Structure 1
Amino acid sequence: MGISMIGIDHNMAPVDIRALFAFTKKSAGEAMEKIKSYKGIYGCVILSTCNRLEVWASVDEEEDVCLYDCVCQLKGISDDSYRNYFVERKDEEAVEHLFYLTSGLKSQIIGEDQILTQVKDALNLARENFAVDGVLEVLFRMAVTAGKKIKTEVPFSHGNPSVIHQAIQFLGQKGYSMQDKTCMVIGNGEMGKVAAQALREAGADVTVTIRQYRSGIVSIPAGCKRINYGERMEYIPECDLVVSATASPNFTLRRELFEELELSGELILIDLAVPRDIEPSIGSLEGITLYDMDSFRIEEIPAELQENLEAAGAIVREQMDEFFQWLDGRDLIPRIQEIKEEAVNDLNLRIAKILKKTQMDEEDRVNLVQAVDTAAGKVVNKLIFGLRDSLNQEAFLECVAGLEKIYEE
């Protein structure tokens, strides 16, 4: 069995290309079930966020499994040119990627911890849809464990590093302060709530849109006001900045809605959604500056993060070693079991004549043979697992292969 993944992210593709392959929670669940049903695939987990799509599978190494073709089939995409935007990883390379990703070390904003929650949610969704198998279950759980350990033991110096925090910092470096600015956040999902809270903490007056049919039961961040989603265009002329962060497949802000709109001053729009929430052509209108998810890249790692990154990397490597020990042990158990059975049978053949010549009741003879079988099995286990604990992995595997050859016909 092998581990395989394909992925597309903010480093390889612009937001509009990523949007073609994005999944909602419902469609991701359906897609995992479908992919698991394909020949040669034992389990599947889909991670779909604003910055990336990753499809993970445990696969039969004897089968020719192409995850890119699986995704394109599900999305109804026949254009093979998108393949260049994807990266494929297998086995150790794939495992290493997941551990570093879950730890926030491959995110658009280094050290951010939202990805940890997203990976946990992806695993839970795979469980709910009966798509995850034992190998992916352990892999994702151990990656999450590494991420949690880093979060508690390696506090990154730049505070809460979500995309909206990076956007606020980015604008601050341009001399734009959020203090006393009038802001609206379209969307009250997880990212919308984080955005609203961050803007409030930065000193802004924040209003959050709520769908009318949900307005009575949805909570919003403390200190924020609410309006119905349908009133958003009426409120925009009063705003200095608008953030849109929904899971809608359609634009929340379209150019045609701005054609009759009279703005009172410069307006900043920030689109934190994939697919996009804000029609890109709005950014060409006079008085409007539009930013999207790709506007806030970190081009280089700040020097002050280097020490923390090294500490985080050490935790990742330790947790990865534990996973591979589990995986190697899992694959070796059937082989060790066969060696033990062959050794016990060998011993039985060697003592059979002696037992036949020994005077005793048949029942005692049977009991003695069973006792010898049990004892011999324990001795073989002790010897083999003792070798595992005292040798490096490569030498141990050579020993197992050598023992297997002893009983080859």
Structure 2
Amino acid sequence: MSISMIGIDHSMAPVDIRALFAFTRKNAGEAMEKLKEQPGIDGCIILSTCNRLEVWASVDDTAELSLYKELCKLKNINDDQYEIYFTKREGHAAVEHLFYLASGLKSQILGEDQILTQVKDALGIAREHFTTDGALEVLFRMAVTAGKKIKTEVPFSHGNPSVIHQAIEMLDRQGYCVQDKVCMVIGNGEMGKVAAQALMEAGADVTVTVRQYRSGMVNIPFGCKRINYGERMDYLPKCDLVVSATASPNFTLREELFENLELEKSIVLIDLAVPRDIEPEVGRFEGVTLYDMDSFKTDEKPAELQEHLEAAGKIVREQMDEFFKWLEGKDLIPRIQEIKENAVNDFNLRIMKPLKNTHMEELEKEQLLSAVDRAMEKVVNKMLFGLRDSMNEQAFLECVAGLEKTYEK
């Protein structure tokens, strides 16, 4: 068994290419079920966010399969031209990637912690659809643990960044301050709520759209106003800035809706969705400035963030070492268990004769033997796992093989 993954992200592909391979939560679950049915795949997890799509699998070493081709089948794509945008990782490289990813060290905005929740949610969806296996379960769980440890012990000093925070900062550098601006956020999911909260904290007047049939059930950030989604185009001319962040497969703002629209002032539109929420042609209208997810890329690392990277990297490496110890020992556990059982049986045979000559009741003898068995198991465990921790891998494997030969019949 080996761990493999393929991935596409903001550093390798523009938003329109990433959109072709994006999954909703529901679609991801259905896709994982189909993927696990393929011969040679023991477990799988799909991680789909606005910035990336990754397919993870525990693969039989003898199986001949392409995760990219399996993904294309799921998305009904019959063209190999997109394969150049994907990165394939296996074994150690795949594990290292996930640990650094969950820690926010590979995000478009370095140090952001939304990805930690997204990795955790991806594991949760896989559990719900029974598509994970032991190796992926432990890998994702330990990667999340590393991310949490970094979040607790190495707080990145510029807070909890997200794309909307970076968008606000970029606009501010360009001389556009959102304070006192009239803003509308289309979408009240996780991304929409983060956007609304960030705009509120920056001093904007924020209104959030809510689907009419869910109006009474949706919580929006305190201080925001709400309107029905169907009223968005009536309210839009009053706005200085509009953010759209939904999981809708359709455009929330289409070109045709702007054809006869009379804007009261210039307006900034920010599309935070993958696939896109705002039809790109909307940006051609006079007075409209349109940004998408890729508008906020930056290679700049804040000085205060750079100071914490080494500490975060140390935590990642420590947690990775723990995972590889577990992975290396996983296949040895049945062998160690058999050695332990043989050792206990051997000891019992040697102690039975002197035990028979003692003046003890049968019940007392049984209780004594049970206690001895438990003690022997603990001793053998301590010896074997102590050897594993103090020897290199090859020497330890030779010790295990030698102990197995001792009890060969």
The residue type paired with residue 105 of structure 1 is: L
> Alpha-carbon deviations, 1:348-402, whole Å to 9, x = none?
99x9xxx9xxx9xxxx9xx9xx99x969877765543331132233432344356
TM alignment of 1:124-143, pairs within 5 A: 124-143=124-143
Match of 1:195 in 2: 195
* C-alpha distance in structure 2 between counterparts of 1:377 and 1:103, whole Å: 38
The residue type paired with residue 87 of structure 2 is: V
* C-alpha distance in structure 1 between counterparts of 2:407 and 2:78, whole Å: 51
Contact 2:251-2:276 at 8 Å conserved across structures: yes
Match of 1:224 in 2: 224
Asked whether 1:102 is paired with 2:121, we answer no
Match of 1:22 in 2: 22
My pick for the range that moved more, 34-43 or 376-385, is 376-385
Residues 75, 377 of structure 1: alpha-carbon distance in 2 compared, 3 angstrom cutoff: same
TM alignment of 1:365-376, pairs within 5 A: none
Residues 385, 30 of structure 1: alpha-carbon distance in 2 compared, 3 angstrom cutoff: same
For structure 2, the 5+ residue unaligned runs are: none
> Alpha-carbon deviations, 1:236-279, whole Å to 9, x = none?
11111100000000000011110101112211100000000000
- Name the TM-score, length of structure 1 as normaliser: 0.89
Match of 2:93 in 1: 93
Match of 1:123 in 2: 123
SS of residue paired to 1:251: coil
The residue type paired with residue 22 of structure 1 is: A
Residues 148, 183 of structure 1: alpha-carbon distance in 2 compared, 3 angstrom cutoff: same
Match of 2:173 in 1: 173
The residue type paired with residue 138 of structure 2 is: V
* C-alpha distance in structure 2 between counterparts of 1:404 and 1:271, whole Å: 62
The residue type paired with residue 158 of structure 1 is: H
> Alpha-carbon deviations, 1:320-354, whole Å to 9, x = none?
111111121212112334555777899999x9xxx
TM alignment of 1:205-284, pairs within 5 A: 205-284=205-284
TM alignment of 1:2-401, pairs within 5 A: 2-338=2-338, 381-401=381-401
My pick for the range that moved more, 10-19 or 316-325, is 316-325
* C-alpha distance in structure 2 between counterparts of 1:212 and 1:139, whole Å: 41
* C-alpha distance in structure 1 between counterparts of 2:203 and 2:380, whole Å: 69
The residue type paired with residue 331 of structure 2 is: D
Contact 2:8-2:54 at 8 Å conserved across structures: yes
TM superposition shift of 1:16: 0.5
The residue type paired with residue 389 of structure 2 is: D
SS of residue paired to 1:35: helix
> Alpha-carbon deviations, 1:155-197, whole Å to 9, x = none?
1122220110000001011111011101100001110011011
SS of residue paired to 2:207: strand
TM superposition shift of 1:300: 2.8
Residues 237, 381 of structure 1: alpha-carbon distance in 2 compared, 3 angstrom cutoff: closer
> Alpha-carbon deviations, 1:95-144, whole Å to 9, x = none?
11111111111100011111111111111111111111122111111111
- Name the TM-score, length of structure 2 as normaliser: 0.89
For structure 1, the 5+ residue unaligned runs are: none
* C-alpha distance in structure 2 between counterparts of 1:187 and 1:115, whole Å: 20
* C-alpha distance in structure 2 between counterparts of 1:308 and 1:331, whole Å: 37
The root-mean-square deviation of aligned C-alpha atoms, in Å, is 2.8
SS of residue paired to 1:44: strand
My pick for the range that moved more, 258-267 or 15-24, is 258-267
My pick for the range that moved more, 154-163 or 186-195, is 154-163
* C-alpha distance in structure 2 between counterparts of 1:167 and 1:290, whole Å: 12
Equivalenced residues, count: 398
Contact 2:188-2:208 at 8 Å conserved across structures: yes
The residue type paired with residue 75 of structure 1 is: K
SS of residue paired to 2:263: coil
Q: Percent identity?
A: 76
* C-alpha distance in structure 2 between counterparts of 1:238 and 1:266, whole Å: 10
Residues 263, 391 of structure 1: alpha-carbon distance in 2 compared, 3 angstrom cutoff: same
TM superposition shift of 1:76: 0.6
Residues 76, 238 of structure 1: alpha-carbon distance in 2 compared, 3 angstrom cutoff: same
The residue type paired with residue 250 of structure 2 is: N
* C-alpha distance in structure 2 between counterparts of 1:141 and 1:166, whole Å: 29
* C-alpha distance in structure 1 between counterparts of 2:216 and 2:378, whole Å: 65
SS of residue paired to 2:139: helix
Contact 2:158-2:304 at 8 Å conserved across structures: no
The residue type paired with residue 94 of structure 1 is: A
SS of residue paired to 1:218: coil
* C-alpha distance in structure 2 between counterparts of 1:27 and 1:216, whole Å: 27
> Alpha-carbon deviations, 1:298-330, whole Å to 9, x = none?
213233222211111111111111111112121
> Alpha-carbon deviations, 1:47-94, whole Å to 9, x = none?
110000111111211212321111111111110111111111111111
The residue type paired with residue 61 of structure 1 is: D
SS of residue paired to 1:289: strand
Contact 2:244-2:277 at 8 Å conserved across structures: yes
Residues 66, 406 of structure 1: alpha-carbon distance in 2 compared, 3 angstrom cutoff: farther
